[in-house]
Structure 1
Amino acid sequence: MPTPVRLLIHGASGRMGRALLRLAAQRDDVEVAAAVQRTVDQRVQDGIPVFAASELSGVPDFDVAIDFSLPGGFDPVLALCQARGRALVSGTTGLSGPQRAALDAAGTRIPVLWQANFSVGVAVLDELVERAAAALPGWDCDIVESHHVHKRDAPSGTALALGESAARGGARPRYASLRAGDIVGEHLVQFTGTGERIELVHRAGDRDIFAQGALVAATRLAGCPPGRYGLRELLFPARD
């Protein structure tokens, strides 16, 4: 059996972090070397050493860091991965322009993957949106995203990523955001022409789909040469 990929879970106390820890324990191809969260009440949880964010430099060795934190925590984990020559998978949204530029620069030294949404279905939706935009010049393009009331950034990172794909196809996307209840995530991309309309929709009913996608991405990114990678590229290499 191949050696499991050693993971650093950064942002372990958040919703995604907790899902990653739970699902990683059910897989044979990964093992969690350490978990990092803002503060620490218990140094070892379920056999996994836990570090505070301020102790990031002291975490044990790992192969891939999976980061689902906040923009303020992104820079330290990116720096750690570069210092140790390890891969980074990040789903932290709301990154600034300089942070995105730093991610691009890091891709010359280590393998990095930033994705707004780790759902396989959204990866397919992203491709469909780009194709539809290219096939429908002059049509209006509107992206409506809905999430739970606790989500801070708007539009969502996924909506912005879908908008970038639409723009590559020639569309000029507009955005609308809804925060309500406990909606996991819904994204509607609507193309409207004269007398007709096309709607492309993805609805997530379980947060586990994102964590599972991030774990798959981490196993495939481990051992890759330096570069900026996308989820679609790793999951469907023949499509790009």
Structure 2
Amino acid sequence: MVKAGIFGANGRMGRVLIEALQQQDNAQLQVATVRDDSPWLGMNVGELAGIGKLGVSCCAVGEINPDSVDVMIDFTLPAAFEANLQWCVDNRKPVIIGTTGLSDAQLAALDEAAKAIPVVFAANYSVGVNLMLSLVRQAARALGKTADIEITEAHHRFKQDAPSGTAMAIGEAIADELQRDLSQCAVYGREGKGPERDRDTIGFATVRAGDIVGEHTALFADIGERLEITHKASSRLTFAKGAVNAAVWLSDKSPGLYTMAQVIGLEN
């Protein structure tokens, strides 16, 4: 039985992760952290998640007993990322990272941490999205030289980063397959009059509205035909279950930076 911990248990994904761990047969929630000044300190995690009392209460990161946990899961915000990652490095604990919107410096810190501990870092933990990343690579190989490529994504009104981490991962997969530099060919918005579309660009469009869980489409449009590859999530539990499965998979791995594609067997 893998003993799992959650950073930021009071967040939207934190609460769903509590539920996902409760449904898992080979993992058990042992630790759930909140901010040092949080009103949730000491609250039962089951009541926090709305699933009835469980045997764990919310604590601050500094109160974690390292011996009580095998692997940590972090879906917090960039502001909390570095301290959470450092705790894992200091205590030699594998970690699942689902935090998006990380800076270049934070990504570099992640690479450095992976030299000491096992890390899974993914923009999205659903099986469907990771299969989509494989499919858009195939589409890019077949259509990328002639088709116009656009990526659209939609999320709930509370999401702070745009485009989403998943949209950027889709763009990176396509650009990598076409040997393009996404930082040079990405277009993040269009308005007014301008020149004809540059076929080598990859466009992004973002929607933030209501309670949309997550929708992503990669469009390959040529003259006379177009291909759309779409993934729609209807529940955050999909992502949480994927993260829990990744935690179980990672618990006995050597230090290194792993992907969700490796977790589900799409890559070695």
TM-score above 0.5? yes
Contact 1:87–1:111 (CA under 8 A) maintained in structure 2: yes
Contact 1:7–1:33 (CA under 8 A) maintained in structure 2: yes
Q: Which of 38, 60, 65 is matched with 1:60 structurally?
A: 65
Structure 1 segments unaligned to the other structure (5+ residues): none
1:220 alignment partner, SS class: helix
Higher mean Cα deviation, 19-28 or 82-91?
A: 19-28
Contact 2:13–2:240 (CA under 8 A) maintained in structure 1: yes
1:162 paired residue number? 170
Say yes or no: does 1:179 pair with 2:186: no
**Partner Cα separation in structure 2 for residue 73 and residue 42 of structure 1:** 17
Give matches, 1:12-27, under 5 Å. Answer: 12-27=9-24
**Partner Cα separation in structure 1 for residue 210 and residue 25 of structure 2:** 35
Higher mean Cα deviation, 114-123 or 39-48?
A: 39-48
**Partner Cα separation in structure 2 for residue 235 and residue 180 of structure 1:** 31
Deviations 1:174-221, CA, capped at 9 Å, x for gaps: 211001111110001001122221100000011110000000000001
**Partner Cα separation in structure 2 for residue 173 and residue 104 of structure 1:** 27
Contact 1:110–1:226 (CA under 8 A) maintained in structure 2: yes
**Partner Cα separation in structure 2 for residue 205 and residue 144 of structure 1:** 17
Give the aligned residue type for 2:212.
I
Instruction: Tell me how large the CA RMSD over aligned residues is.
Output: 1.4
Contact 2:34–2:40 (CA under 8 A) maintained in structure 1: no
Contact 1:120–1:213 (CA under 8 A) maintained in structure 2: yes
Deviation at 1:41, TM superposition (A): 3.4
Deviations 1:110-148, CA, capped at 9 Å, x for gaps: 111111111100010001111211222232111000011
Q: Which of 103, 116, 120 is matched with 2:123 structurally?
A: 116
Say yes or no: does 1:104 pair with 2:101: no
Say yes or no: does 1:220 pair with 2:249: yes
2:97 paired residue number? 90
1:10 paired residue number? 7
Give matches, 1:43-82, under 5 Å. Answer: 43-45=42-44, 46-52=54-60, 56-61=61-66, 62-82=69-89
**Partner Cα separation in structure 2 for residue 100 and residue 225 of structure 1:** 20
**Partner Cα separation in structure 2 for residue 47 and residue 142 of structure 1:** 47
Higher mean Cα deviation, 214-223 or 42-51?
A: 42-51
**Partner Cα separation in structure 2 for residue 199 and residue 43 of structure 1:** 47
TM-score between both structures, scaled by the size of structure 2: 0.83
Q: CA distance change for structure 1 residues 36 and 122 in 2, over 3 Å: closer, same or farther?
A: same
Give the aligned residue type for 2:233.
A
Higher mean Cα deviation, 31-40 or 111-120?
A: 31-40
Say yes or no: does 1:232 pair with 2:231: no
Contact 1:132–1:169 (CA under 8 A) maintained in structure 2: no
**Partner Cα separation in structure 2 for residue 101 and residue 49 of structure 1:** 33
Give the aligned residue type for 1:225.
S
**Partner Cα separation in structure 2 for residue 135 and residue 73 of structure 1:** 41
Count of aligned residue pairs for this structure pair: 233
Report the identity percentage.
Answer: 42
**Larger Rg over CA atoms:** 2
**Partner Cα separation in structure 1 for residue 255 and residue 141 of structure 2:** 31
2:196 paired residue number? none
Give matches, 1:183-222, under 5 Å. Answer: 183-222=212-251
Q: Which is richer in strand?
A: 1
1:19 alignment partner, SS class: helix
Deviations 1:19-52, CA, capped at 9 Å, x for gaps: 1111212223111221112214351512213113
1:48 alignment partner, SS class: coil
Contact 1:10–1:69 (CA under 8 A) maintained in structure 2: yes
Contact 2:154–2:216 (CA under 8 A) maintained in structure 1: yes
**Partner Cα separation in structure 2 for residue 34 and residue 41 of structure 1:** 14
